[in-house]
Amino acid sequence: MDFGEDVENLKGIGPKTAEKLHKCGIVSVKDLFYTLPRDYDTFETPVSIADIRPGKIVIKGAIDSLTTRRARRRNLSVTEGIIHDATGSIKVVWFNQSYRLKQFAPEKEYYFTGNYELKNGRYSLISPSAAEVSDIDPRTGLSPVYKAHGSLKSHDFRRLISQSRDKFNAIPDLLPSVSAGTRAKALFYSHFPNSLNTVKRAHNYLAYEELFELILASRLNRQENKKLKATSFKFDSGKVRKFVESLPFKLTNAQRRAAWDIFNDLEKTVPMNRLLQGDVGSGKTVVAALSAYVTALSKGQVAILAPTAVLAAQHFANISGLLSEFGIKVELLTGATKQKKELKARIKNGDVDVVIGTHALLTDDTVFSNLALVVIDEQHRFGVEQRQKLMLKSPAGLAPHLLAMTATPIPRSLQLTVFGDLDVSILDELPAGRKPISTTVMPEISAREKLYPEIVRIISLPPDEKKHGKKARGQQVYWICRAIEDGDKTVSEITSVKSRAKKLQELFPKLRIEFLHGKMRQTEKDEIMGEFANGEIDILVSTTVVEVGVDVPNATMIIIENADSYGLAQLHQLRGRVGRGVSESYCYLMTTGDAQPSRRLKELEKSNDGFYLAEIDLKMRGPGEIYGVLQHGALDLRIASLSDTKLIARAQKDVVDFLRDADNLVKYKELMDGISKYQQITTLN
Ligand code: ADP
Ligand code: MG
């Protein structure tokens, strides 16, 4: 059977249905068969209507008197009907499922399962699942539930797939080293389960298959990267030592190790492909500066890409401060840069050694004479295409060395799968003297009583003894807001920061309060951030735009509203805005309204370890939450869980075996075609 052929060729699928399927990305027979149920209803042991009790029930009967009407509340449709069996009848109600009107034939029998409960003074069966009796194997009572795609509902998929039931045994195998027909069986039992146990086994195989593809893709990326050429940079140990001695602090051992890894990579003629991972405040910037120094000493140009102008400016201040005295020319290029033309001409001439910037670096008219090292800060903030744009700015035939940095720790399981083609250096040691941030979770309603006195206390403390802006009166506070649903209307982030700032100003008339959000003009943002850094603002009310990298050591308190709506890794990032000076720092996580702190949030009270928190996030919320690359939806794993380390280990071993025989890359054509989409997302360049 040709698994790649159009669904239109399947029995019972006409041009109309085919078009609907195509629209939601289901083009080939393979796509359809891999549209797996998201759940299974069990219609086991139905009860007679005469015997039902409130609660979850399964009944078997016919349905009639179906009608649909609009409810008084806007945007809600109510579909009602009467289900009857030999012993009696009950009312059934669905909300916003008017397609139910057409689902049932009056003469047929169906199973229904759902909650039988009191609604508007009358007992009804509320929004039950339904399946035609003749579709369900009476021995198992199981019925697959598919995710609706546009106008195609679960029961449509059930019908479309059942029509091809006899085709499943002809599905070819995809992977070597499993017994023949494994995939065919796994797909068959996913759609036509004979017990929950076989479903589990089927899913286990399909998850394995997915992980195998993902790991194979990242391995192949690694091989391809090895074929590229880069300029080799020998490092001058005397000069590097002088530079390190000039620093106002002693490097941590972790920083030394990371720098050493990078120097070794830069000496090679294959491009470096390294990820520098380090928790917030672990000192990645100086490692980047060292790498830039070594490259620039041998006349290679360096581009440092930052996700926001605020951060780019901060890096520029830091890095040019460190490098200028050693004769390295550092420049800043952002949207707000004046005399861009002149600067770009100098970059093109090779008159600039290190360019630090935002997206402005990516434009076509930014041309380098000899781009040799690309550093990407907070790399998960950039999409594949954006990173690629920069990588292509090297001289023809050469690829730049790449150093990607992130404060969002990547759990080991992700490292083995999605990021398997990277070398990794980890800063697992914070500079000496950092104090843990004391973290408290509390419901919003206790803010007035518990939090406001704390704010007053913090702001009246003397400024941080080491580093603070000139105009600081006391210590400073961040207050983070987000858009929340307020009944029917969505409050935008902008209104929510504005109104919070206003309320706080009413409460604390003497304090200097400003707000910051992503929609402000860049120059305005920079201005406000500058004032905050300079100590001219006591409380900065902001959206998560301050999440990334901003360094104001005199800010010692951060309050995060609606904390329950963020991932732990993101909260940890936000929390990392404080604890940067020598004073005690505090983080208050407010849950929405009177919501009690969840176990998940409580983890932040217990741990200051970003790696540990990311592992928890991965288990509880999935990879998209912690790793931005995946947010683009490209990596929608159907089944596999990236926290299943055992299965990952097995797939990894099998991929290594697979790659031992180069013929396999030709022999397994479907596999190789299928993984190209993964190759795109698992690569950094
Ligand atoms: P991040 O890894 O979050 O990007 P930064 O590079 O911004 O961290 O460093 C955080 C702060 O720590 C900066 O103020 C930096 O000057 C300081 N720092 C970096 N390395 C050290 C060190 N080895 N000892 C003391 N302070 C350091
Ligand atoms: Mg940083």
Tell me the pLDDT tens digit for each residue of 460-469: 998 876 677 7
Residues contacting ligand 1 via CB (< 6 Å): 249-252, 255, 278, 280-286, 407, 431, 549, 551
By C-alpha distance, which of 202, 149, 166 is closest to 40?
A: 202
The DSSP-derived string for 365-389 is T---SSEEEEEETTGGGS-HHHHHH
Nearest-CA residue for ligand 1 atom 23 is: 251
Q: What is the pTM of this model?
A: 0.70
288 Cα: distance to centroid of ligand 2 (angstroms): 10
Domain with CATH 2.40.50.140 in the chain: 39-145
Q: Give the ligand 1 atom nearest the CA of 250.
A: 23
Q: How far apart are the first and last CA of the chain?
A: 37
Sheet bearing 586-591, strands edge to edge? 438-443, 586-591, 555-560, 476-480, 539-542, 513-516
Q: Hey, which of 247, 551, 575 would you mutate to test ligand 1's pocket, going by the most ligand atoms within 8 Å of its Cβ?
A: 551
Please, which residues have CB less than 5 A from ligand 2, an ion?
Answer: 549
Strand ranges for 348-501 from DSSP E = 354-357, 371-376, 401-406, 423-427, 438-443, 476-480, 485-486, 489-490
Structure tokens that stand for 342 in this block: 């002149």
CA distance linking residue 231 with residue 289, whole number of Å: 19
Structure tokens that stand for 164 in this block: 């091809």
Cα-based distances in Å from 131 to 90, 155, 350, 399, 654? 17, 7, 70, 57, 40
What CATH class does 237-267+283-406 carry?
alpha beta
- Predicted confidence at residue 547, as pLDDT, reads 63
| CB atoms inside a 10 Å sphere around CB 633 | 7
Q: Counting Cβ atoms within 10 Å, is residue 498 exposed (0-12), middle (13-18) or buried (19+)?
A: middle
> Residues in the chain, how many?
685
Q: Look up the CATH architecture of domain 39-145.
A: Beta Barrel (2.40)
Domain with CATH 3.40.50.300 in the chain: 237-267+283-406, 438-607
* Torsion angle defined by CA atoms of residues 374, 380, 381 and 382, in that order, rounded to the nearest 10 degrees: 50
- Spatial contact of 82 and 73, defined as CB atoms under 8 Å apart: no
Q: Hey, which of 286, 377, 464 would you mutate to test ligand 1's pocket, going by the most ligand atoms within 8 Å of its Cβ?
A: 286
CATH 1.10.150.130 fits 438-607, yes or no: no
Q: Give the ligand 1 atom nearest the CA of 377.
A: 4
- Predicted confidence at residue 337, as pLDDT, reads 87
Nearest-CA residue for ligand 1 atom 17 is: 283
Q: Give the ligand 1 atom nearest the CA of 280.
A: 3
- Tell me the sheet residues that pair with 150: none
Nearest-CA residue for ligand 1 atom 20 is: 283
Sites in the chain below the pLDDT cut of 70:
74, 177, 380, 383-384, 409, 411-414, 416, 418, 465-466, 483-493, 547-549, 621-643, 677, 679-685
